[in-house]
Structure 1
């Protein structure tokens, strides 16, 4: 994978997770402690190394809070870290990185640096303030031990989580994501049609079509949302307001597949979403694949110069799906 693409994708994924964590405390600026929490949730080798040491999102959050409270006490401030609420990042705006966190991410993508999550983690544990070292101590480990485990699990290819493939008339794109929940919990969530709006933002509600049971071949009708998470009204063209949703595959607890189409669109080409679930340390690894029809003939030729942009936009779409699934369990 191109270093620039890998660094951009890593920055995007860490930014979203970190700012989601900051939003739980009503903060608009994500610091290095939120970057640490984002790495705990990361699907790459950096996240695997942290989870191999027994560091999950719950105990990592607690260690961050305890460290902040201790710092306040050392300054003679009788206060505590504010109570955490729900993630509201997707409902609000105005977020950004602290200068220290932003500089650290940039350094991880600098000369002779890979720019992936492992590079960010290496820079983070070497950060001179000692904050992350202290947090690791609360979690029962050290920076040295973490780097040793990272060396063992790190992939020589960096971040092989994105793939785009084409075949006659069809194209597919895949990514991997990590969810801090058990295999059965994630399976039940993805197999429940009523939960689809939680991970597909283009659908606001799902209604089962009469006479169908929740087995492969069953059909549901989805309707577009009337407003976005931030409360702004959604402007949806009439022909895109209805979705035909079909359960294609249900193989518990390892695979679930859904098909999505627009019944009011003349040239309707359904999109297939496949989820392959694997139990992993600290949660579940999900391989998400999106399959759709390619434009035939001259339309396909005209689209070729735009494919790098399309590939990035498709990655964003799949990444948002994976992030929404993870957010549902946090």
Structure 2
């Protein structure tokens, strides 16, 4: 993966997670402590290094909160921050980085920097205010110990978007995400048809059905009528319904769903597969989406659009991975 793509994907993933953390406190500006929390759940080497030291998301959140309170007390202010609630970033807007967080992310992809999450974490540890160093101290470790651990996990060959296995006649894309929950709980979430709208953006609801979730079972879903922020969704009638079929089950390691538009002629079903692996502090989830490649002259027409197609695949994978992670935070 080239440096530009790596930096863009890292910035996107860290920005989303950090601003989600800020939204729990009713804030619209994400600062370096929120960036630190985003790194704790990163699927890259930075996140694995932090988690290998016993730093969980809950522990990191607690340390950040204690540090804020200590800062207020040092200023003689007897007050506390609002109690954290649920993530509302996807339902609201108006978020931005603080100037120092924005500068730090930009610097991580500068000259002789990889743009990966490890570069961001190294920049955080060296940040002049010393805030992250103090948070690490509350977590029972130090900057030096973290950097030593990061050296062991960091690798130029690391990638957050592994190539999916190529299948003849199909287009596919794959990515990974870390979920801060046990493997069994993540599998149960992904295997529950009633919860599909929580991670599949093209679905707003599932027709209630008491049928057992077994291979071959089919449910009917409907496109969302509004965005999370309440704005109405415009959608053509033939795309309102979706059939959802459970096509593979291997508890607790794999689950696969097939989605199609029954009211669209020559509809190409999309296969979404999840592969789960237990990891320190949670579960590593690989997500793969694939669908049949167009045949004949249609494949020639679609050829120039492949770069755009790859970008759209990455966007859908990113949305799904982020939604799965968010469900457990």
Q: TM-score range by the shorter chain?
A: over 0.9
- Bigger shift: 34-43 or 150-159? 150-159
Alpha-carbon shift at residue 164 of structure 1 (Å): 5.6
**Partner residue of 1:283?**
282
1:301 CA displacement = 2.4
For 1:305 and 1:126, how far apart are their aligned partners in 2? 44
Shift of 1:297: 2.7
- Counterpart of 1:60 in structure 2 is 60
Partner Cα separation in structure 1 for residue 264 and residue 166 of structure 2: 24
Corresponding residue for 1:272? 271
Q: CA deviation at 1:208?
A: 5.2
SS in 1 for 2:177: strand
TM-score by length of 1: 0.97
Say whether residues 1:34 and 2:34 are aligned partners.
yes
What corresponds to 1:102 in structure 2?
A: 102
Q: Which runs of 5+ in 1 are unaligned?
A: none
1:209: how far off? 5.9
SS of 1:264 mapped into structure 2: coil
1:53-92 alignment to 2 at 5 Å? Answer: 53-92=53-92
* SS at structure 2 position matched to 1:113: coil
Stretches of structure 2 lacking an aligned partner (at least 5 in a row):
none
Scaled by the length of structure 2, the TM-score of the pair is 0.97
Cα displacement (A) at 1:303: 2.6
Matches of 1:129 and 1:160, distance apart in 2: 30
- Per-residue CA deviations over 1:57-84 (Å, capped at 9, x if unaligned) read 1010010010011001101111112211
How many residues are aligned here?
Answer: 329
Aligned to 1:25: 25
**Matched residue, 2:152:** 152
2:300, 2:115 → 1: CA distance?
Answer: 33
Contact 2:253–2:275 (CA under 8 A) maintained in structure 1: yes
Assess if the C-alpha contact under 8 Å between 1:227 and 1:233 holds in 2: yes
Which of structure 1's runs of 4+ aligned residues deviate more than 3 A?
164-168
CA RMSD after TM alignment: 1.3
Deviation per CA, 1:237-276: give whole Å up to 9, x if none. Answer: 1101100000001110000000000000001110000000
CA distance in 2, matches of 1:5, 1:99: 23
SS of 2:207's equivalent in the other structure is strand
